[in-house]
Structure 1
Amino acid sequence: MAENIDVVVIGGGYAGVMAANRLTQRDDVTVTLINPRPTFVHRVRLHQLVGGSDDAVVDFGDVLADGVRLVVDTVARIDAAGRSVTPASGGTIDYDYLIYAVGSGSADPQVPGAAEHAYPIADLEDAERLRPALDAVSASAAVTVVGAGPTGIETAAELAEGGHNVTLVCGGVLGPYLHPRGRRSVAGRLAKLKVTVLDGPGTMVTAVTRDAVRLADGRELPSELTIWTAGFGVPDLAARSGLRTDALGRLLTDETLTSVDDDRIVAAGDSAAPSDLPLRMSCQAAMPLGARAADTVLSRIAGEQPAPLGMAFVAQCLSLGRSDGIFQKASKTDVAQWFHIDGRPGARLKEVICKVIVKHLAEEAHKPGAYRLHRTASPAKRRQLLEANGKTLDPVGRVS
């Protein structure tokens, strides 16, 4: 009788769920998914939760394969030598292979007063705490959103469309990722929603108080409610467990997503740093990385050499309220291009994409191995990017 193989997946986000579902292709693999919540968080809708148009959660029964064992807990430590993890609630769970997909959350703000007086919005609990605080202020109250990346822009637009008096503090450029044409479109929509946009070098936030935000250029903005979207961080589980990480704390891997310290540990999603050259933190990267991580484990089980990572970015999508949005085309190496679709068609396209994300996970749950987008990615593009950063890829996916 064939020996059973235990695979533990830490994290039930886009990458973790994709990986867990895909691993069920083999009958001799037992998959355990450890996640701190009993429901799947559709993170790209968290700004809608705050605005009141969506609850941003999906039942795991709708996206997780029946054969995956769900453990609702957090992991306190990984024992790589002993091939086990220690849940916060106690005990240990052994593994033959581990997929590290702990995701990302709000970065610890270094700005004085931000941790005490500003509301982050990076995870479900953050958004659930913000919602009643928003309901408690009047429509005319000054609401400040700090950070003009996708989360900040979408949150500012959502709240302004709901009638709130919103100021978006960029701390630099509005939508740094966007092409200048796309940026002008977004700025125009925010202006129509009466969002006050403060950009430029003087708009770095230097302090947050209970009722104000101070900027580097000396201005002090009244703010009855401050929302912090400036930057993401990752859990420190890998570092605490003695595994090598990049400067942000993402697990260092080779191009097959295998840990540089242990070939039984594979990473995926926002918490992975392949060749110390990670992909942009996004759902668009997380699901292909989850599929690739699962394929790496399945290849190792089969005694085959795992395939290296490819790149297949397509676009960045932003909702600008419920009736407007933008689809910003990108190159495969994730550089914004001039082409974009905005207005109501952009909003419809963003909504379709949000639904397709869940559909992809559900399809993989019911037919593991069905997802193939990561296999259409180009390893050659990734190789070119590595070479441009002075890295050389060997035949087994390691760089030097």
Structure 2
Amino acid sequence: MSATQRNGSHVRQIIVLGGGYAGTMAANRLSAADDADVVMVNPRPRFVHRVRLHQWIAGTGTADEDFAHVLSGRVRLVVDTATHIDVAGGRVELASDAALDYDHLVYAVGSSGTPADTIDGVAEHGFVLGEWEAAQRLRARLDAVEATDPGAPATVIGGGLTGIEMAAELADAGVPVRIVCGVVLAPSFGDRARRSARRRLRKLGVEILEDCHVVSVGPDTVTIVDNGVRRIVPSSTTIVAAGFGVPDLAAVSGLSTDTAGRLITDETLTSVDDPRIVGAGDAVAPSGMAFRMSCQAANQLGPHAADTVLARLTGDAPSPVRLAFVGQGASLGRRGAVVQLTHRDDRPARVVISGRAAATIKELVCRSVIWGLRLEGRRPGATPSFGPTRQVGDRQVEVNA
């Protein structure tokens, strides 16, 4: 048994795998349990505020925090990487060859940017957005280009919100940028929000290429196909923002996963294979249906995963997950943004906010993420839950106001 003794009582061992938004929030909430030791395993010694990575890359902001500022002092941080979960034995094996026993485990390993495998040369010459280490390489590349060939153009592959923010941030910093969108710019936005994003990007000087795609990447060029016509254009730095993938830890550990590798759970976020394992964040698919990968979802899934564990510690029945989306936002340089309000099921609503007002809202949202983590660390349970819900198939979905 992995439980230890404290003042004559059993102390449960809880491991949280991953120190992103969901994992940090879950660990902070779990720190309220007096009869548990909480350990968070994370490959980095600092918290990465990923929604600000585009700012750090462009040299316009910071994107990391000391864990002491966002993580409860009752949580022990282990800087290491989980390589295998021994489900039967209740043990996590680490890259350092150490191992940690657990009574309960929160699987919150997150996601990372994925290379566009269909594009020739992208692995050798492209820079994939998504993780801190990749962001460091990209920033070093941009600095080197600025020093040797100032004014050389950059290309962003992917017209989603991540690509839009990266292109706008670089353009606002004076880098000539084109964004190759595939089918359409900002596919998750409604038409009004999409038009606003286009206007702002064009004002910043971003070349927007819709309904075309990149087929190959060279050291300083990209090959684009537009209406069946290939053309080679200069690109000193080619940035891939074509989607996110998840680690294969669950799959290699023999746990049930969806086709993307996400841990399959029930609606309480409990693994369908073992009640001791609970999932949260981007790498989880409740009932096999994942929520949109986002900080917004992670900051709700993390507390709910913790509540499921806490319920099991007290012998109570955990509740189904309740998630409510309120909007999608993209910063467009330091003085502009677009905020697309959504229904709680994440469908675009009619209300769109743009310009400086939207930039102020987006900045407040980014700051509030850190404030929320700190608050949960000081006062576990402070993050609210949402309701009421209604049953739609196998999923509890928020009732729209």
Letter in 1 for 2:85: I
* Matches of 1:131 and 1:192, distance apart in 2: 24
C-alpha contact (below 8 Å) 1:157/1:321 kept by paired residues: yes
Q: TM-score scaled by structure 1?
A: 0.94
C-alpha contact (below 8 Å) 2:301/2:323 kept by paired residues: no
Spell out the pairing of 1:101-250 with structure 2 (5 A cutoff). Answer: 101-110=108-117, 111-137=119-145, 138-200=149-211, 203-216=212-225, 217=228, 218-250=230-262
* Matches of 2:184 and 2:62, distance apart in 1: 30
* Matches of 1:100 and 1:357, distance apart in 2: 20
Shift of 1:379: 2.9
* Matches of 2:191 and 2:368, distance apart in 1: 28
* Matches of 1:56 and 1:125, distance apart in 2: 12
In the alignment, which residue of structure 1 is the partner of 2:343? 331
Identity of aligned residues (%): 50
Shift of 1:214: 1.8
Q: Spell out structure 1 runs of 4+ moving beyond 2 A.
A: none
Correspondence 1:61 to 2:68 = yes
Letter in 1 for 2:318: P
**Deviations 1:213-233, CA, capped at 9 Å, x for gaps:** 222332322211100110111
* Matches of 2:116 and 2:395, distance apart in 1: 35
* Matches of 1:52 and 1:136, distance apart in 2: 13
In the alignment, which residue of structure 1 is the partner of 2:386? 376
Letter in 1 for 2:108: A
Letter in 2 for 1:24: S
Give the gaps of 5 or more residues in structure 1. 394-400
C-alpha contact (below 8 Å) 2:165/2:332 kept by paired residues: yes
Letter in 2 for 1:123: E
Letter in 1 for 2:272: V
Correspondence 1:306 to 2:318 = yes
What secondary structure, in the 3-state scheme, does the structure 2 residue paired with 1:269 have? Answer: coil
Q: TM-score scaled by structure 2?
A: 0.93
Letter in 2 for 1:350: K
Q: CA RMSD in A?
A: 1.1
In the alignment, which residue of structure 2 is the partner of 1:50? 57
Letter in 1 for 2:154: V
**Deviations 1:90-137, CA, capped at 9 Å, x for gaps:** 121000000000000012431221111100120111111111211122
* Matches of 1:64 and 1:49, distance apart in 2: 22
* Matches of 1:282 and 1:264, distance apart in 2: 25
Worse overlay, 277-286 or 124-133: 124-133
In the alignment, which residue of structure 1 is the partner of 2:34? 27
Letter in 2 for 1:32: V
Q: Which structure's residues are more often strand, by fraction?
A: 2
Shift of 1:378: 4.1
* Matches of 1:122 and 1:26, distance apart in 2: 33
In the alignment, which residue of structure 2 is the partner of 1:72? 79
Spell out the pairing of 1:271-310 with structure 2 (5 A cutoff). Answer: 271-310=283-322
Change (3 A) 1:244 1:135: same
* Matches of 1:147 and 1:208, distance apart in 2: 14
Spell out the pairing of 1:343-354 with structure 2 (5 A cutoff). Answer: 343-354=355-366
In the alignment, which residue of structure 2 is the partner of 1:396? none
Q: How many residues matched?
A: 382
Change (3 A) 1:158 1:321: same
**Deviations 1:262-302, CA, capped at 9 Å, x for gaps:** 11100000001001111000000001100000000001111
* Matches of 1:326 and 1:3, distance apart in 2: 51
Change (3 A) 1:273 1:181: same
* Matches of 1:341 and 1:244, distance apart in 2: 41
Give the gaps of 5 or more residues in structure 2. 1-7, 397-401
Change (3 A) 1:7 1:210: same
Letter in 2 for 1:145: V
C-alpha contact (below 8 Å) 2:115/2:242 kept by paired residues: no
